[in-house]
Chains A and B, each alone.
Chain A
């Protein structure tokens, strides 16, 4: 029997985990965690699972102590040998500690789950591994965006509520902070990832550093294309070193070995060299293009589909014209 652990309301990543679990050919239990479970259970009622829930105000926020208590109770009550949850921040924080408590095993960032095995990446997306485990319960966190969401019909569900006394906690969630949509980093819903590299702040062929022009061109491009903005490490590190910087970039934008691994279908790199520690973050970006003055940069060596050997300042200026809609900035 497989347990799928989901928060309410059920996110797209949650529906993907559910879809994946339904394909494994075993009976299903869905364990819901949140303020109230009935509506969420009904929304996926057609999946034919047994529904368990840990509900109430303490479980409405993402917090280790309460999430771990809820998930532990669900695993124990279900008796499942396999538990699947989306590899979101909430479950990646809570479930490893739960694995420890229940004496189980855990794998994260799974991109493929088959009966008895899991595929995931090691060494920051540089080595691909398929593995199997004998230990139970086996908790698998499934990488969002690596499969289709469940698309069945809603149906009235019978929910069995577990009585879990909220654990004592010293942590109070104050809220969520988000940057302006246009400057957000890895917005998963954007079709394009636009990556700015340190070249934007380097001396250009006329001998000048043109940081404010770079800022303007980048923001204009991102706003007009609706792209998600990413960056290389070198560029975001500059702010810490007191150099000329692009003020809207922070470490949250960093893609690569010590940054994020976004999943946009298309990616365009500009003024970025395409070094291995950066490009490992592009593992799941399928179509890749780059603009760089250097024909021997990393992108040229099988890391991009197309490398435009050109001045990114000029190309983005022209792109702004081609994209039009100046009012959109």
Chain B
């Protein structure tokens, strides 16, 4: 089966960076912060790449909305990993946008992909972003594209003979729901999946690179508003005074911990 897989994913500040909100709201020095491909969307992309590899003729598109210059930096790295075609949208950075606007832009971009058969689409994305962290965008994109088979926090996908999909979704309390979906189109918003980050593969990087720059040059502006009024945007106020306990025998520490647990 020649799958057509569209992966939606934005970019996010590298999680090791210090974040500070400024009026807007926005992040202080946002354009200077190093960014990564949004982590859960990255898992979705690795799963898409894996599925495409196992199914000759399959193709992966990445639809991504972010400031063009930032997107270029991030995509140069991602492009080293697996084959895909980028559909970029030149939009605002960060999490202070509304998923309704973002979803409209993503769905419109997906509709313009030449040769894409929406009735056979496998729509992938991360289940939440590391920026807005709402977990609402992919379902909205699915709804806009008329996809009624939707899965959230997917950890595993098994493609079965005949093209049906068995999907494991992550529930509360470390449980998983297993569902069988008899066919496409379907939307899968991924949690961690099962695959590690693929190693860099220079020939893939070269092949992707040839398409990347022309695509980025043609990236359409995609405005997205907040959709709300931000009344307060602040860093958590709680600061802990850490007590550092050194040179205490292990037995004493253990007793202290057990006492604390049972309090």
Contact = CB atoms under 8 A, between A and B. Distances in A.
- Co-assembled chains A and B: yes
B245 A306 contact: yes
Contact of B179 (A144, A173, A283, A299): A173
A252 B260 contact: no
Interface residues of B, number: 89
Contacts of A251: 155, 191-194
A272 B182 CA distance: 43
Interface string B192-219: 1111100000000000000000000000
B149 A64 contact: yes
B236 interface: yes
A128 interface: yes
Interface in B4-53: 12-13, 15-16, 19, 21, 25, 39-40, 43
A127 B235 contact: yes
A96 B229 contact: no
Nearest to B233: A129
B178 A108 contact: no
Interface stretch (B72-80, B114-122, B169-177): B169-177
Contacts of B232: 128-130
B245 A129 contact: no
Contact of A105 (B100, B135, B139): B100
Nearest to A230: B174
A63 B179 contact: yes
A281 B42 CA distance: 19
A93 B150 contact: yes
B244 interface: yes
- Pick from B176, B232, B253 the residue with the most CB of A within 10 Å: B253
Given A93-B152, A123-B131, A277-B15, A106 B99 contact: yes
A176 B135 contact: no
Interface string A102-115: 00011111000000
A124 B142 CA distance: 24
Contact of A121 (B25, B133, B155): B133
Given A109-B133, A128-B234, A96 B172 contact: no
Q: How large is the interface on A (under 10, 10 to 19, 20 to 34, 35 or more residues)?
A: 35 or more
Interface string B151-172: 1110100000000001011111
A107 B227 CA distance: 11
A176 B169 CA distance: 9
A161 interface: no
A132 B148 contact: no
A62 B172 CA distance: 13
A108 B135 contact: yes
Interface in A65-124: 65, 68, 88-89, 92-97, 99-101, 105-109, 117, 121-124
A176 B149 contact: no
Contacts of B134: 106-109
Given A96-B99, A266-B260, A319-B258, 8 more contacts: A96-B138, A96-B143, A123-B12, A131-B229, A169-B148, A251-B155, A299-B242, A323-B258
Interface of A: 62-65, 68, 88-89, 92-97, 99-101, 105-109, 117, 121-135, 144, 167-179, 184-188, 191-192, 225, 227, 237, 240-241, 251-254, 257-259, 266, 268, 275-277, 280, 283, 287-289, 291, 295, 299-311, 314-319, 321-323
Interface of B: 12-13, 15-16, 19, 21, 25, 39-40, 43, 95-96, 98-100, 103, 130-140, 142-144, 148-153, 155, 166, 168-183, 191-196, 227-236, 239-248, 250-251, 253-255, 257-258, 260-261
22 contacts: A65-B149, A89-B171, A93-B169, A96-B138, A99-B136, A106-B136, A109-B134, A122-B96, A127-B233, A167-B148, A170-B149, A171-B179, A174-B180, A177-B178, A240-B195, A268-B257, A295-B244, A302-B239, A314-B250, A318-B250, A318-B255, A322-B251
